[in-house]
Amino acid sequence: MRRRPPRLIHLSPEEVTYLEQLVRDGRTEQRIARRARILLEMADPATIVSELADRLGQDRRTIWALCRRFEALGVDVVKDSYRPGRPRELSPLQRVEVERLACSEPAGVGLHMTHWSTRSLARAARLKGIAPAISHSTVAVILRDAALQPHRSRYWKTPTPDDAFRHQAAQILWCYEQAQRLAARGEVVLCLDEKPNIQVLERNHPSRSTRPGLIEKQEFEYTRHGTVNFLVKLVVHTGQMRGWCLERNDGACLRAVLPQLLGDHSDAHRIHLIWDGGSSHVARETLDFLYSNYPHVRVLFTPAHASWLNQAELLLRAFAAHYLQRGSWANRDELIEHLDASWPEYNRLYAHPFTWSWTRSKMHEWVDRRLL
């Protein structure tokens, strides 16, 4: 077989080091690592191009072309060249018009739909004369570049930014900020919340497990077997939880578990207890029970319409995602047994302190802006 002598390329020690790092780094894209390996091989006088091409699965012409480009560009040849792609068909003004349309209500352009999709935005842009021809994929690119998501929404409870909100929120946020320091001196911050009326649903037919090419399928029809009330406690500085299944979501059932709930922290000098203004929490019997039996407990209520300040709500959301979604239970006892076994597993696998970024200073700034 005729062997063509390679055209030597000369690499400086710095270039050799750079190319070897690209080859060894597991994060390097394969095409870049392959080019770096070719250059290192072609710097060796003993390299035979045909054998190198066979070993790397490349054509010899590809290797020669890379060497010629190296002579012109240096080691930058291993990187992809700039490809500007097809020029934009819409002007910057037209793109801004699409963004403005996405930020408006459909009713503002005479439509009765409640929200936008990329297809409806493209259709509305054509009807308004923003662009004579625009596809929904182009609209999607414009929205992505502008960080707009008109197809998404979330619920929000707006609190009243008054002095009462400022005072109550500041007390709770102080506890979150100082949770680790309080724990070091024998004080503990607890958050309590309930998930009332969890429906005990049994699917009428077994679910079909996932398999290659198919997602899990769950029977739509179900049978109800009552409800379960689930009370959770979150220890803020550790992220650990504990749960209780209550017969009813009322003050009597809550007071029945408070001795066990607070007894876990009998060595604490002080307990900061955070919960919302639910009827069982603000009941005179509940407060009298706490003040008479646990004088070291400091009760803090979240402001009206601001139960999201309670970290136990985050806990319940995470717990439900892991242990309640897709569940099927034949009776209440089965769900209660499942919940009693699930919260210790959550502590082993997922528990960690929540990262709370809304500080008192941010809260005061937020209130001040809304009082202007």
pLDDT tens digits for 349-361? 999 999 999 999 9
Residue with tokens 């020690």: 13
Given pLDDT bands bounded at 50, 70 and 90, which one contains residue 155?
confident
What is the per-residue pLDDT for 161?
86
Average pLDDT, the chain: 91
What is the per-residue pLDDT for 88?
66
C-alpha closest to that of 140 among 125, 123, 121: 121
- Min mean pLDDT across 56-60, 216-220, 339-343, 350-354 is at 56-60
Question: Percentage of residues in the chain with pLDDT exceeding 90?
Answer: 68
Given pLDDT bands bounded at 50, 70 and 90, which one contains residue 86?
low
Degrees (nearest 5) of the Cα angle 148, 365, 174?
A: 110
165 pLDDT more than 50? yes
Given pLDDT bands bounded at 50, 70 and 90, which one contains residue 43?
confident
Residue 348: CB atoms within 10 A of its CB come to 8
What b/e string do you get for 89-125 counting C-beta neighbours within 10 Å, with b at 16 or more? ebeeebbebbbebbeeebeeeeeeeeebebebbbebb
Residue 360: CB atoms within 10 A of its CB come to 16
pLDDT tens digits for range 100-120: 999 999 998 889 999 999 999
Element containing residue 181 per DSSP (H, E): helix 179-184
Task: List, in order, residues 6 or more apart from 188 with CB less than 8 Å away.
Answer: 182, 235, 236, 237, 265, 268, 270, 271, 272
What is the per-residue pLDDT for 224?
96
> For 4-20, what is the mean pLDDT?
78
178 pLDDT more than 70? yes
User: Whole-model pTM above 0.95?
Assistant: no
Question: Percentage of residues in the chain with pLDDT exceeding 70?
Answer: 96
What are the φ/ψ torsions at residue 119 (nearest 5 degrees)?
A: -70, -45
Both structure tokens of 341 = 């076994």
371 pLDDT more than 70? yes
3 pLDDT more than 80? no
What is the per-residue pLDDT for 1?
43
Whole-number Å distance between alpha carbons of 5 and 224: 80
64 pLDDT more than 90? no
Element containing residue 201 per DSSP (H, E): strand 187-203
pLDDT tens digits for range 203-242: 999 999 999 998 999 999 999 999 999 999 999 999 999 9
Strands 297-301 and 270-275: parallel
267: buried, middle or exposed (CB in 10 Å: 19+, 13-18, 0-12)? Answer: exposed
Given pLDDT bands bounded at 50, 70 and 90, which one contains residue 372?
confident
194 forms bridges with which residues in the sheet?
Answer: 231
Task: Say which DSSP state 298 is in.
Answer: E
> For 321-330, what is the mean pLDDT?
95
**Cα Rg for the chain, rounded, in angstroms?**
32
> For 316-326, what is the mean pLDDT?
95
What is the per-residue pLDDT for 7?
60
What is the per-residue pLDDT for 68?
85
What are the φ/ψ torsions at residue 228 (nearest 5 degrees)?
A: -135, 140
Taking the C-alpha atoms of 16, 18, 21 and 25 in order, what is their torsion angle to the nearest 10 degrees? -140
